[in-house]
Chains A and B, each alone.
Chain A
Amino acid sequence: MSAGARVLDSSRVDTHQGGILYVEGVSVAFDGFKALDDLNLYLDEGELRCIIGPNGAGKTTLMDVITGKTRPDTGTIFFGSNVDLTTLEEHEIVNAGIGRKFQTPTVFEQHSVLENLEVAAKANKRVWSSLFGTTSAVVRDKILEVAETVGLAQTLDRQAGNLSHGQKQWLEIGMLLAQDPMLLLVDEPVAGMSQHEVERTGELLSGLAGSHTVVVVEHDMEFIRSIARKVTVLHQGRVIAEGEMDDVQQNPDVVEVYLGE
């Protein structure tokens, strides 16, 4: 099987030049509709980047091409300066160190919270070690620590399908943390959360930045303003502005896109 032959892990990713993700000249078309149009995006290691844009701007498609769900028609995507993501399958990209949280929370509904976190935890994810392997005390401690962080330590034995929407969001974030990726792609993390939970999510994501690189796609401008350091604005599959939140808000192109329609 070709899939099993290349085992990548994050130690192989070369970030010596400071950049962790290089998206260059990427275009994707669906039946003639250009979802991404010659898009360029560079991320520095440890930064927290927010991506905003109106509906159909290509935010989710951008996440899809980075995680291998969609293949770009043209362009290159490098993780670090050495890992070509366009040649890897989805699970290989995850094991290389890129984690993703989807728009709608998906958890393994039949399994307990603990089992969900265990499945996500960083480990050898091949068939043989899943069959005969055991979960080490280190991994178990990591799982319990993550459960504490996302506020699910008291509900470890609950079936994930019985959690509330907000708790599922937290569980999914917890699964992402248990995976311990270098780069986290987080799609609409605060949808359906209460004000208090939104604040906690903001603190969590800001806290992760530095040791991790975090990309947040969000509609909630208030939330963006509360966490944003650098913002990228997408429109019709292109980057139309990039910079500090305040500067971006003054940008005439951005104003036109958001207000002109």
Chain B
Amino acid sequence: MPELHTGRHPMHSARAWWLLACFVAIAAVMVPVFNLVPDEDSIWKLPDFLIPLFGKFICYAIVALAIDLIWGYAGILSLGHGVFFALGGYAMGMYLMRSIGTEGVYGNELPDFMVFLDWKELPWFWYGFEYFAFAFSMALVVPGALAFGFGWLAFRSRITGVYFSIITQAMTFAFMLLFFRNDTGFGGNNGLTDFKRILGISLQEPGTRVGLYVVSVIALLGTYLACRYIVCSKLGRLVTAVRDAETKLRFTGYDPLQYKLFVWTFSAVLCGLAGALYVPQVGIINPSEMQPANSIEMAIWVAVGGRGTLVGAVAGAWLVNATKSWFTVAAPETWLYVLGGTFILVTLFAPRGLVGLLESVRLRGRADSTSPTGSEEVDP
């Protein structure tokens, strides 16, 4: 009998820790070195344009982990996580707007879009965003607070399944419409852009780009470890119990509301973090990030990679986005068909995603190699 664990289960095998360390070494050390050290025309040079692209992928991976936690483990499908991501991005964007100072087109203390709208002073909800620490905490607090309020209302009313998913779609759509309005005070459909510097350093410097990228890798590592810590705790098992038999859990003495609310809010905070790291690297945030389709795409990353595995979610985010980057250059008009088709194929033939596929291949391989007579026992 294998060793029986109670309480906290071990997070990783020694081999998995080793693999994780290798990944971090490649992502956080090798990539920056190959970008910064070789000469412009050396074949070893990692092109500059790849750094923000990788940074973007890293942020998407954080989002995928957040969605996997709530969907893969707690069984709650959110089709509105884009709104938490975008709110985190807006909070950071507001800081970056305020850091432009008087270098904008109009040379005014106010952000350009406010001058354009003929506003004379800063709206109250922009106060404090000139401070990085404040803006960064808002990037986490605002999505967290929205998720907490929304989740409390929905979970308390015991709204579950597809109904919950639909409401999350409605939520992100409503926020998109709100942010499209110029009067809302976040730059309308243009959003926030033309950023100049972060923490006093120019965003155009190669060093800044690499720095932001490395910070994102560290954030991804932290997010992954936090998620792994959660799913290996007793709380992790309770959350999957919510997914499988919520009523039973209630009659075992747990309040599912508290458990759902915790993972849901934590998941939203992670998306806020991802959004805050994303915006300085791509240089813009606008309401299209809140499109319902974006949130659906995020769920597809996780479905493709494999729900309830964490690693699968990250792999799914990268695979889908790498394919997207290629397709949107090579054959842009076909991308949505490819995405939809992939989703249908995965749902039909690989409900446990890539990780599930790999596992079943590996299991089959092991069965073949360990028992030469195994072919007789296993049904063809």
The answer to whether A114 and B6 have CB atoms under 8 Å apart is yes
> Interface stretch among A35-43, A132-140, A223-231?
A132-140
The answer to whether B1 and A131 have CB atoms under 8 Å apart is no
The answer to whether A127 and B6 have CB atoms under 8 Å apart is no
Q: Which of A107, A111, A125, A179: most chain B Cβ within 10 A?
A: A125
Min distance, Cβ A69 to any Cβ of chain B, angstroms: 8
Inter-chain contacts of B249 with A (CB < 8 A): 108, 119
Alpha-carbon distance A1/B257, docked complex (angstroms):
10
The answer to whether A131 and B240 have CB atoms under 8 Å apart is no
The proximity string for B residues 247-281 relative to A, scoring 1 for CB distances below 8 Å and 0 otherwise, is 11111111101110110000000000000000000
A102 within 8 A of B: yes
> Interface stretch among B109-117, B228-236, B315-323?
B228-236
B45 within 8 A of A: no
A95 within 8 A of B: yes
Tell me the nearest residue of chain B to A132, going by C-beta. Answer: B233
Min distance, Cβ B311 to any Cβ of chain A, angstroms: 18
Tell me the nearest residue of chain A to B238, going by C-beta. Answer: A130
Min distance, Cβ A135 to any Cβ of chain B, angstroms: 4
The answer to whether B6 and A90 have CB atoms under 8 Å apart is no
- B-side binding surface: helix, strand, loop or mixed? helix
The proximity string for B residues 213-256 relative to A, scoring 1 for CB distances below 8 Å and 0 otherwise, is 00000000000000000100111011011001101111111110
Min distance, Cβ B267 to any Cβ of chain A, angstroms: 14
Tell me the nearest residue of chain B to A89, going by C-beta. Answer: B255
B372 within 8 A of A: no
Q: Given A118-B6, A135-B7, does the pair A130, B251 have CB atoms closer than 8 Å?
A: no
- CB-contact partner of A127 in B248, B250, B258, under 8 A: B258
Inter-chain contacts of A143 with B (CB < 8 A): 6
Inter-chain contacts of B2 with A (CB < 8 A): 157
The answer to whether B255 and A119 have CB atoms under 8 Å apart is no
Min distance, Cβ A116 to any Cβ of chain B, angstroms: 9
B364 within 8 A of A: no
Alpha-carbon distance A91/B257, docked complex (angstroms):
11
Tell me the nearest residue of chain B to A161, going by C-beta. Answer: B244
B16 within 8 A of A: no
The answer to whether A91 and B255 have CB atoms under 8 Å apart is yes
A156 within 8 A of B: yes
Inter-chain contacts of B253 with A (CB < 8 A): 91, 94-95, 120, 125, 179
A109 within 8 A of B: yes
The answer to whether B252 and A94 have CB atoms under 8 Å apart is yes
The proximity string for A residues 76-115 relative to B, scoring 1 for CB distances below 8 Å and 0 otherwise, is 0000000000000111001100001010001111111011
Q: For chain B residues 326-359, which have a beta carbon within 8 Å of chain A? A: none
The answer to whether A119 and B7 have CB atoms under 8 Å apart is no
Alpha-carbon distance A67/B250, docked complex (angstroms):
10
Alpha-carbon distance A94/B7, docked complex (angstroms):
21
B362 within 8 A of A: no
Q: For chain A residues 124-156, which have a beta carbon within 8 Å of chain B? A: 125-127, 130-135, 139-140, 143, 156
The answer to whether B252 and A130 have CB atoms under 8 Å apart is no
Q: Given A127-B259, A156-B1, A157-B2, does the pair A108, B233 have CB atoms closer than 8 Å?
A: no
B8 within 8 A of A: yes
The proximity string for B residues 55-99 relative to A, scoring 1 for CB distances below 8 Å and 0 otherwise, is 000000000000000000000000000000000000000000000
Q: Given A91-B253, A94-B253, does the pair A119, B237 have CB atoms closer than 8 Å?
A: yes
B4 within 8 A of A: yes
Min distance, Cβ B229 to any Cβ of chain A, angstroms: 8
Alpha-carbon distance A109/B234, docked complex (angstroms):
16
The answer to whether B255 and A179 have CB atoms under 8 Å apart is no
The answer to whether B4 and A127 have CB atoms under 8 Å apart is no
The answer to whether B248 and A108 have CB atoms under 8 Å apart is yes
Q: Which of A109, A119, A157: most chain B Cβ within 10 A?
A: A119
Min distance, Cβ A157 to any Cβ of chain B, angstroms: 6
Alpha-carbon distance A156/B5, docked complex (angstroms):
10
Min distance, Cβ A47 to any Cβ of chain B, angstroms: 22
Q: Given A1-B257, A118-B6, A130-B233, does the pair A111, B241 have CB atoms closer than 8 Å?
A: yes
The answer to whether A115 and B254 have CB atoms under 8 Å apart is no
Inter-chain contacts of B245 with A (CB < 8 A): 106-109
Alpha-carbon distance A134/B233, docked complex (angstroms):
8
Q: Which 4 A-B pairs have the closest CB atoms?
A: A94-B253, A135-B7, A134-B7, A130-B235
Q: Which residues of A contact B (CB under 8 A)?
A: 1, 3-4, 67, 89-91, 94-95, 100, 102, 106-112, 114-115, 118-120, 125-127, 130-135, 139-140, 143, 156-157, 175, 179
Task: Give 26 CB contacts A-B under 8 Å.
Answer: A1-B152, A1-B257, A3-B255, A91-B251, A106-B248, A107-B245, A108-B237, A109-B245, A110-B240, A114-B4, A115-B237, A118-B7, A118-B234, A119-B237, A119-B252, A125-B253, A130-B233, A130-B235, A130-B238, A130-B259, A131-B235, A131-B262, A132-B233, A133-B7, A135-B6, A156-B4
